[in-house]
Amino acid sequence: MKRAFQYISSPVVSLTCTVSNNSAIKRRIFFLLFAFFAAIFISPAAAQDSAANETPKTFTPANISSNLYNDKVLADTLSDQEKNRRIKIITAANIAGYSAATLGIYHAWYKDYPQSKFHVFNDIGEWQQMDKIGHVYSAYAASKASMELWRWTGIDRKKRIWIGGLSGFVYQTTIEVLDGFSTEWGWSWGDFTANIAGSGLMVAQELAWDRQRIQMKWSFHRKKYNDAMLNSRSDELFGKSTPERILKDYNGQTYWLSGTLKDFFPKSKLPAWLQLSVGTGAEGMFGGYENIAYDDGGNLEFDRRDIKRYRQWYLAPDIDLTRIKTNKKGIRMALYVLNIFKFPTPSLELSRGKLGWNWLHF
């Protein structure tokens, strides 16, 4: 169970850092690099905004929204000249962010590895499919972030939805193409399909509801074990620092779908920020398929096939931070960014055929 106050000493192992896990790291670093360079362009421009970025002061079901900017206010206040200026800024941000992230990933991960003809490999069975869920999440988050940048330009609603969705898909699929030409990796149809699912989740909701009624989120808890050998092996496989663990350790990750109850029951007295989340995770993984490892000579050096690999399902309340009312642009931006993470709350857990309770789930 992924929480702070239970299973700290449980004999559950962490995941091994191999090809699939490297793919997960590359995917997240790519997104962070793109977000960083995009922020360089968007922040000075957003700081100059006035009424165009203010949220409506009334708070009724009709205008409750988790969007970073308000379409109606933008349409009413932006001149054609201002729209063109913003389009140029966001275009430059996308080009700079995408180019810098691609070059950074290439030099960090591909340059020193042998290249080959484009090839495919099947990794659908690895890591209890947690890496595939990670692809869905990354594509969803990238698509949503890109769409909000384009929303700020004031362009047509359907255009910014499709541009944002396709951008997130392209950003993630770029990594698959690079993998396809690398001897160490290969094109994964499972990853490609997951990328489509993540971008599609964002696009479909915007087209149907003009908002994200169901948001994809993520949480992490650093694993600790009562077995010194497992702790040592964990440090060796996926690093000693927390940032490394966050990127590599699927055993400590949970992916969530958080639904905003007010969106589905607009006449209720439920608070607009209240969400209900369904989450999934997995534990007991110490290799892609089995909990074994071999040395360079092909000799078995680690064998913990006695540890059960299993999936977990969760049900928990959540908070939509973007529904917290504020007219401060900096606070609104911060809440929007933080909303990609699941807010720590108690949770119900179903795993190994048993129902349990977590007092605080990270």
What's phi and psi for 78, nearest 5 deg?
A: -85, 130
* Strand residue runs (E) in the chain: 214-220, 253-260, 274-283, 292-294, 300-303, 310-319, 345-351, 354-361
Query: Which pLDDT score, from 0 to 100, does residue 140 have?
Result: 95
Please list, in sequence order, all residues whose beta carbon lies within 8 angstroms of the beta carbon of residue 151, skipping any fewer than 6 positions away. 67, 68, 69, 71, 74, 160, 164
User: What residue type is assigned to position 296 of the chain?
Assistant: D
For 219, what's the count of Cα atoms within 13 Å in the CB-facing half-sphere?
27
Sign of the Cα pseudo-torsion (334, 280, 208, 147, in order): positive
Query: Which pLDDT score, from 0 to 100, does residue 57 have?
Result: 37
Are 28 and 247 a contacting pair, CB within 8 Å? yes
Sign of the Cα pseudo-torsion (134, 136, 137, 139, in order): positive
Burial of 294 by CB count in 10 Å (0-12 exposed, 13-18 middle, 19+ buried)? Answer: exposed
Query: Which pLDDT score, from 0 to 100, does residue 226 have?
Result: 87
Q: What is the dihedral of CA 272, 273, 274, 277, to 10 degrees?
A: 130
Task: From first to last of the 362 residues of the chain, give the pLDDT tens digit.
Answer: 443 333 323 333 333 333 445 655 566 555 555 555 555 444 444 444 433 344 433 333 334 456 766 777 777 788 889 999 999 999 988 888 888 888 877 776 777 778 899 999 998 888 899 999 999 999 999 999 899 889 989 899 999 999 999 998 998 888 889 889 988 789 999 999 999 999 999 999 999 999 999 999 999 988 888 888 787 777 777 778 888 888 788 888 999 999 999 999 999 999 999 999 999 999 988 888 888 888 888 898 888 898 899 999 999 999 999 998 888 888 888 898 899 999 999 999 999 999 999 999 88
DSSP 115: B
Instruction: Give, in order, the Cα–Cα distances in Å from 100 to each of 32, 34, 81.
Output: 11, 7, 29
Query: Which pLDDT score, from 0 to 100, does residue 113 have?
Result: 78
Question: 0.85 exceeded by the pTM?
Answer: no
CA distance 188 to 176: 7
Are 358 and 6 a contacting pair, CB within 8 Å? yes
Query: Which pLDDT score, from 0 to 100, does residue 205 have?
Result: 96
